[in-house]
């Protein structure tokens, strides 16, 4: 038997018993064809009630007794879907023969269901089942920029006969996307690397998909990488990376230039991601099988990380299959609270990386407990370092739920309004001026310490002045005066100008002119030590510096006056002696 139906049946059973999210179960299965398994399990969840009703009319001796079914109802449901609503097992001849053996039993069960609902065809019940949410989503295909470009892919598809209608209008997106014909496709108005195909288009076996040039990925799932927007050459961390669609998208946007560190603690999911990365041709992704919470943000390698994507495990309540299946699957409050605590822990840890410039948080959940409440609570602890950056401001009608202070910065996508899976995105941007503020704070602290030291020195000086220890010593003043004295002094005289060389001034004059001033100078009394002490007793701290300068200035003026007086007396004495000698010489000549 084809293992696809065994794995799908097992996932259906675990999904209905709320063991984990559908997305987690699919990627944890380790199945080698994830797109095919996803398509089957999504349809099983969507049509579960109808298939269960049909199977209820079977007896235990028919299909359920087959060895391939092993008595497991979920495997029988997978086989029934493929026989009644799928592609009838494709090339699997063995399974077709088995189902043919029970054709009468299957037909009888279907007739009973049709009769009970008063319809003619089973597909009418399928449409009625799906019309509960009336959900239709176009087929989105992402261009792998490592292998090609949007223009080249568009040209290739046109050569195959597809009709390219151009870039869709953002305001009329829903109307235009749903009106695409089976042979048409378009370019998404928001994401330059996403192509839009009609609802139900099958491309997982197309040549471009098989070669890794096109990647089947919902538009909502493509948004986080565009919001993170790491430039080429960056170091990026995807902390919950598997199954790898967003990781491969990051590598694509970076043109495989730089480094993407992909962490996940599930080994089986990492193996699935390894196959995907090999398919798309990415070499810049480093796979690490490790729990993100064990990574030390202050490690040397971690300091190089600039951009972080946080897409943690969630309820997957936004996925189309879950929305159309059991509504109570993801509304278990206890489970939501457990998920919320885990998501808060993961996000807080991501924000500890010292050089991370931008962190994007995303979930495929529709519940506020996993979205607005998580990011608001975390921001309350990191607002001094980070701020919210508005996610795609162009989408004005896709903001967060009302009642939260930063809802206008968040992005919420829904199937009804945006033709995507239910999705939530928030972006944390590091504040640019934090480093400047830190430097400013350090400088302010240093300035305060310097002022404190100056105040302490001033206080010590004031105490010294009070003890009459602040006066400048005579020896220091004499030394300063010697430096300032010119080599030639010009002294005025009543009779003539006399130039005296320094050598002409005797030692007695030198001693005299540097004596402490004892007479009136410019009509002011020279301050004595006792006067200075009395004045300092009532001296305030803020005037101490000015007072000290005044004392020095007065000492200088006093010394200058004494010097001038001494020099004048010496010159007058020399003049008188010279006159006397001339007079004596004149008297001698007369004799």
| Residues annotated as catalytic (active site), given as ranges | 364
For residue 484, the surrounding DSSP H or E stretch is: helix 474-484
Helix extents (H) in 372-433: 372-382, 415-418
- Rounded CA-CA distance 430/416 in Å is 34
Nearest 10 degrees: Cα torsion 315, 374, 252, 243: -30
DSSP, residue by residue, 47-103? THHHHHHHHTT--TTTGGGSTTTTT-HHHHHHHHHHHHTS-TTTT-HHHHHHHHHTH
- The answer to whether 412 and 423 have CB atoms below 8 angstroms apart is yes
- Rounded CA-CA distance 319/24 in Å is 12
- Rounded CA-CA distance 102/95 in Å is 11
Known binder of ligand: residue 245?
A: yes
- Indicate the SS3 state at residue 358: strand
The 8 Å CB, 24+ separation contacts for 206-212 are 208/153, 208/156, 208/157, 209/141, 211/147, 212/144, 212/147, 212/279, 212/280, 212/281
For residue 177, the surrounding DSSP H or E stretch is: helix 173-178
User: φ, ψ for residue 215 (rounded to 5)?
Assistant: -125, 125
- The answer to whether 217 and 166 have CB atoms below 8 angstroms apart is no
Q: Which two tokens stand for residue 70?
A: 């092993």
Q: Which two tokens stand for residue 471?
A: 């006066």
Known binder of ligand: residue 238?
A: no
- Rounded CA-CA distance 86/122 in Å is 12
Question: Could you tell me the sign of the dihedral formed by the alpha carbons of 115, 119, 122, 125, in that order?
Answer: negative
Beta bridge partners of 362: 425
- The answer to whether 263 and 240 have CB atoms below 8 angstroms apart is yes
Beta bridge partners of 324: none
Known binder of ligand: residue 243?
A: yes
Pairing of β 285-288 and β 259-263: parallel
Residue-wise over 541-550: b if at least 16 C-beta within 10 A, else e?
eeebeebbee
Known binder of ligand: residue 352?
A: no
First to last CA, the chain: 162
Beta-carbon count within 10 A of 101 CB: 12
Known binder of ligand: residue 14?
A: no
Known binder of ligand: residue 571?
A: no
Task: Give 397's contacts (C-beta < 8 A, 6+ positions apart).
Answer: 417
- Rounded CA-CA distance 93/262 in Å is 41
Known binder of ligand: residue 108?
A: no
Known binder of ligand: residue 468?
A: no
User: φ, ψ for residue 383 (rounded to 5)?
Assistant: -65, -20
Question: Could you tell me the sign of the dihedral formed by the alpha carbons of 334, 336, 338, 344, in that order?
Answer: negative
Known binder of ligand: residue 94?
A: no
Residue 204, CB-side half-sphere exposure with 13 Å CA sphere: 10
Residue 342, CB-side half-sphere exposure with 13 Å CA sphere: 15
Omega cis (within 30) before 123: no
- The answer to whether 79 and 95 have CB atoms below 8 angstroms apart is yes
Q: Which residues are annotated as a binding site?
A: 240-246, 264, 291, 311
Q: Which residues are annotated as a binding site for S-adenosyl-L-methionine?
A: 240-246, 264, 291, 311
């Amino acid at each position: 038997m084809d293992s696809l139906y065994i794995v799908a049946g097992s996932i259906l059973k675990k999904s209905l018993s709320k063991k984990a999210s559908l997305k987690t179960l699919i990627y944890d299965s380790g199945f080698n064809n994830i797109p095919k398994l996803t398509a089957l399990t999504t349809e099983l969840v969507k049509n579960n009630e109808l298939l269960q009703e049909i199977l209820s009319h079977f007896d235990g001796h028919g299909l359920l007794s087959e060895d391939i079914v092993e008595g497991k109802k979920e495997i029988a449901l997978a086989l029934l879907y493929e026989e009644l609503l799928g592609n009838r097992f494709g090339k699997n001849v063995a399974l077709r023969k088995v189902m043919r053996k029970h054709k009468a039993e299957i037909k009888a069960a279907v007739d009973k269901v049709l009769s009970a609902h008063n319809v003619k065809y089973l597909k009418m019940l399928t449409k009625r089942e799906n019309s509960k949410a009336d959900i239709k989503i176009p087929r989105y295909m992402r261009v792998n920029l490592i292998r090609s470009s949007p223009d080249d892919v568009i040209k290739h598809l046109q050569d195959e006969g597809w009709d390219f209608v151009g870039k869709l209008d953002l305001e009329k997106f829903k109307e235009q996307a749903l009106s695409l014909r089976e042979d048409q496709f378009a370019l998404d108005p928001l994401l330059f690397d996403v192509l839009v195909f009609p609802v139900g288009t099958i491309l997982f076996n197309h040549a471009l998909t098989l070669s890794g040039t096109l990647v089947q990925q919902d538009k909502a799932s493509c948004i986080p990488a565009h919001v993170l927007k790491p430039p080429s050459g960056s170091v990026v961390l995807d902390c919950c990376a598997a199954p790898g669609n967003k990781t491969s998208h990051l590598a694509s946007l970076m043109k495989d230039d730089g480094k993407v560190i992909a962490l996940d603690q599930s080994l089986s999911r990492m193996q699935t991601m390894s196959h995907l990365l090999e398919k798309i041709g990415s070499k810049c992704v480093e796979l690490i099988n490790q729990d993100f919470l064990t990574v030390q943000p202050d490690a040397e390698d971690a300091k190089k990380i600039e951009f972080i994507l946080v897409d943690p495990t969630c309820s997957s309540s936004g996925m189309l299959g879950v929305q159309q299946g059991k509504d109570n699957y993801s509304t278990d409050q206890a489970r939501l609270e457990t998920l919320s605590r885990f998501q808060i822990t993961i996000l807080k840890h991501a924000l500890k990386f010292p050089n991370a410039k931008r962190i994007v948080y995303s979930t495929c959940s529709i519940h506020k407990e996993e979205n607005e409440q998580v990011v608001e609570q975390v921001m309350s602890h990191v607002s001094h370092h980070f701020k919210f950056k508005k996610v795609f401001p162009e989408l004005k009608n896709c903001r967060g739920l009302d009642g939260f202070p930063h809802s206008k910065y968040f992005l919420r996508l829904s199937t009804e309004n945006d033709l995507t899976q239910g999705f939530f995105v928030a972006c944390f941007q590091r504040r640019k001026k934090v480093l400047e503020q830190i430097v400013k704070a350090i400088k302010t602290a240093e300035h305060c310490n310097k002022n404190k030291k100056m105040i302490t020195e001033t206080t010590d000086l004031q105490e010294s002045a009070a003890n009459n220890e602040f006066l400048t010593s005579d020896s220091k003043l004499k030394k300063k005066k010697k430096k300032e004295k010119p080599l030639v002094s010009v002294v005025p005289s009543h009779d003539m100008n006399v130039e005296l060389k320094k050598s002409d001034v005797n030692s007695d004059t030198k001693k005299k002119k540097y004596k402490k001033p004892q007479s009136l100078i410019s009509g002011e009394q020279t301050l004595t030590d006792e006067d200075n002490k009395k004045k300092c007793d009532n001296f305030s701290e803020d005037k101490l510096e000015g007072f000290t300068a005044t004392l020095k200035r007065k000492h200088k003026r006093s010394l200058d006056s004494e010097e001038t007086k001494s020099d004048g007396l010496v010159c007058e004495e020399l003049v008188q002696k010279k006159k006397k000698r001339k007079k004596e010489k004149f008297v001698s000549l007369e004799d």
